[in-house]
Amino acid sequence: MKAAVVTSFDAPLEIQERPVPEPGTGQVLVRIEACGLCHTDIHAAHGDWPVKPAPPFVPGHEGVGVVTAVGAAVTQHEIGDRVAIPWLGHACGHCDHCISGWETLCEQQQNSGYAVDGGFAEYAVADANYVVTVPEGVSSFDAAPLTCAGVTTYKAIKVANVSPSERVAVFGIGGLGHLAVQYARLVGAEVIAVDVKQSKLDLARELGADHVVDATKVDPAEAIAALGGADVAVALTVSPGSFEQAFASLRRGGRLVCVGLPPEREGAMHLPIFDTVLGGKSVIGSIVGTREDLAEVFRLHALGRTKVIAEPRKLDDVNAAIDEVLSGQVNARLVFEF
């Protein structure tokens, strides 16, 4: 099979021919039909984060395809099922986080395309317990961005406990942000989109943002204050400065949801204590979502409530696709089609 492989943190990915892996006990083999390119894949390939993956490895945690073989003891999926392989590739299933609906916090988790080979390949094996069925009515192409960008922003809106008519500011429109705008709309929020690119702000408008703020022209915190301040700000960018702007945009009682992950060396934000205390403000970290969250994301999409904006690419062009994402030229998501 063809696979895009990280061989070292400072070399481009290599397209290699590899043997098709065999599913072990409890695993399924998936013939990948589509896999999105997430910023996390780029951080993985560059070794940007504290716990580094071990090259050689295959990135990709938005892999979607058809089960073509099952290992021993697999009862929950069969050959022909269409499934998604999310970031949470495996969790222990018995720690307090796992049994209380917070499997995404499991300390024993293994992440797809990071600790285990992911979806930048024609085939991938995955834990049958942690793949999620893709329903009819959701194409594999659309399911791919929903598998990380979708579930991550859906969960961010969920943990912020947004009430209808609250004001939600989404910092960073792109693969994640274009979906965050839609989930915020779905729970009835007044939505403000913040970005530095006009094409992304136009996209946010098309997807239902009530206001857009161009952070190159105005101070977003001031612009949002003029609208009454944000009850919830969702920080999706990889720049700590934009996390601080997002916090500064909150009105009293506001919640900052931190989602984006900058490289480790830049990974700190300044938090004003007086403003946090006197304003009763919260800072919430949110990491991807559970299998159930992803099932809900797929259900909403099958109902026609969300729109995925993505462009197809070929796996052979993986390095060019990474350059496109890093240059900021991509409005939303790139998806490798197989």
Give contact residues for Zn ion (rule: CB under 5 A): 38, 40, 91-92, 95, 98, 106, 148
Q: How far apart are CA 168 and CA 13, in angstroms?
A: 38
> Least Å distance between CB 279 and Zn ion?
31
**Distance in angstroms between the alpha carbons of the first and the last residue of the chain:** 11
Q: Which is nearer to Zn ion, 162 or 236 (CB)?
A: 236
> Least Å distance between CB 198 and Zn ion?
25
Q: Which is nearer to Zn ion, 86 or 220 (CB)?
A: 86
> Least Å distance between CB 253 and Zn ion?
30
> Least Å distance between CB 225 and Zn ion?
31
Q: Which is nearer to Zn ion, 106 or 258 (CB)?
A: 106
Q: Which is nearer to Zn ion, 221 or 288 (CB)?
A: 288
Where are the strands (E) in the chain, listed by range? 2-5, 14-17, 27-37, 63-70, 82-85, 88-90, 110-111, 123-127, 132-133, 167-171, 190-195, 211-214, 230-235, 250-258, 282-285, 310-313, 333-337
Phi, psi angles (nearest 5°) of residue 223: -65, -40
> Least Å distance between CB 176 and Zn ion?
8
Inter-helix orientation angle 151-159/177-186, to 10°: 50
> Least Å distance between CB 20 and Zn ion?
25
Q: Which is nearer to Zn ion, 91 or 169 (CB)?
A: 91
Q: Which is nearer to Zn ion, 40 or 249 (CB)?
A: 40
Q: Which two tokens stand for residue 1?
A: 């099979």
How many CB atoms are located within 10 Å of the residue 303 CB? 10
Q: For residue 288, what are the CA distances in angstroms to 12, 33, 135, 159, 193?
A: 27, 22, 20, 11, 21
